[in-house]
Amino acid sequence: MNLKLWITVAASCLSTAALAQDSNKLVIEGEALVTETAAPAHMENVDTIYSGWRFRSSETQALETDDFDNPGFVFLDQGVDLFEKVDGSEGKACASCHEDIEDFAGLRTQLPRVQDGKLASMEDLVNECRTERMGAKPWKWSGGQMTAMTGLIGLQSRGMPVNVEIDGEAAPFWEKGKELYYTRVGQLDMACSNCHENNFGVMIRADHLSQGQINGFPTYRLKNAKLNSIHARFKGCMKNIRAEPFKEGGDEFKALELYLASRGQGLSVETPSVRN
């Protein structure tokens, strides 16, 4: 590697940190998605929000523009099979109650949401159907069956703007998520904000830091060649800073999920996105 060049590049990146994400337009199968928009009013320190897609290499970006190239669709096909498959004591499949998967259009944009006084993520809704209505065993939060299903349901909202409720009953959960976002943890003593708010657009070793948006989840990662849940990503980031992660599906991660979703209000749902 040419040293002088590297330094020049690094220096110019530093001086234009806010512009370091490229300005490509994301068009999937002919439909234009919103990957950049004005930050919602509740975000005090950021003016513009960007999808994580904008921070990836052009090769990785390209994979998301064509459903045939997008490796996440292999798993969504499994989701289609699971949707039709009878399971549990009641002899039902998802399709027994939900005639058309397309009826789920818009659902991804509103989750997580408060139900019966509790915050519910899409995984909770899926498992509620399995245990309460099908008499089937719940799926593991970040297991292959669950991500195939949340991916398939999420796809029905692709292109629609994230629009979670943060007031009223949701407010205390949102506040808790916000607090977690700004709390330093782990031996490296960092908060989500240190990387994703203060340093997005900057390289951290080999990684180009994004805003840590969740509009593309579950996301196919080249790193592990599967669909990854939102909570699994949170867990990974916490482990990287040598922090004991919260439980997947637990109150902390659900609150954090609501807060992060709200930091992406207006971005298009990109499920299933492709990241490295």
Partner 1 sequence: MKRAFGLAAVAALATSAALAETVAPTNVALVDGVIKTSLTGQPGDAGVGRKVFANRKQGNCLACHTNSDLSEEIFHGEVGPPMDGVADRWSEGELRAIVTNSKQVFEDTIMPAFYIESGYERPLEKFAGKSILSAQQVEDVVAYLMTLKEE
Query: Which of the residues are catalytic?
Result: 237
Establish if 214 lies at the interface with ligand HEC (CB under 6 A).
yes
Q: Which of 129, 190, 261, 269 binds ligand HEC (CB under 6 A)?
A: 190
Establish if 209 lies at the interface with ligand HEC (CB under 6 A).
yes
Establish if 269 lies at the interface with ligand HEC (CB under 6 A).
no
Find the binding residues for ligand HEC in span 42-61 (CB under 6 A): 52, 55
Closest CA to 37 of 21, 19, 51: 51
Find the binding residues for partner 1 in span 155-184 (CB under 8 A): 183-184
DSSP tag of 137: P
Query: By CB under 8 A, how many residues form the interface with partner 1?
Result: 29
Establish if 203 lies at the interface with ligand HEC (CB under 6 A).
no
DSSP conformation letters of 198-229: TSTTSEETTEE------TT-SEEETTTTEEE-
Determine which helix (DSSP H) or strand (DSSP E) holds 241, and give its type and residue range: none
Closest CA to 179 of 122, 269, 251: 251
Q: How far apart are CA 60 and CA 276, in angstroms?
A: 7
Find the binding residues for ligand HEC in span 239-268 (CB under 6 A): 240-241, 256, 260
Q: Which of 11, 86, 97, 222 binds partner 1 (CB under 8 A)?
A: 11
The two three-digit tokens of residue 164, written as one number: 């979670």
Closest CA to 218 of 202, 203, 234: 234
Q: How far is the CB of 203 from ligand HEC (least distance, A)?
A: 9
Q: How far apart are CA 86 and CA 91, in angstroms?
A: 6
Which among partner 1, ligand HEC, none contacts residue 10 (Cβ within 5 to 8 A by kind)?
partner 1
Q: Based on CB atoms, which residue is closest to ligand HEC, 74 or 185?
A: 185
Establish if 222 lies at the interface with partner 1 (CB under 8 A).
no
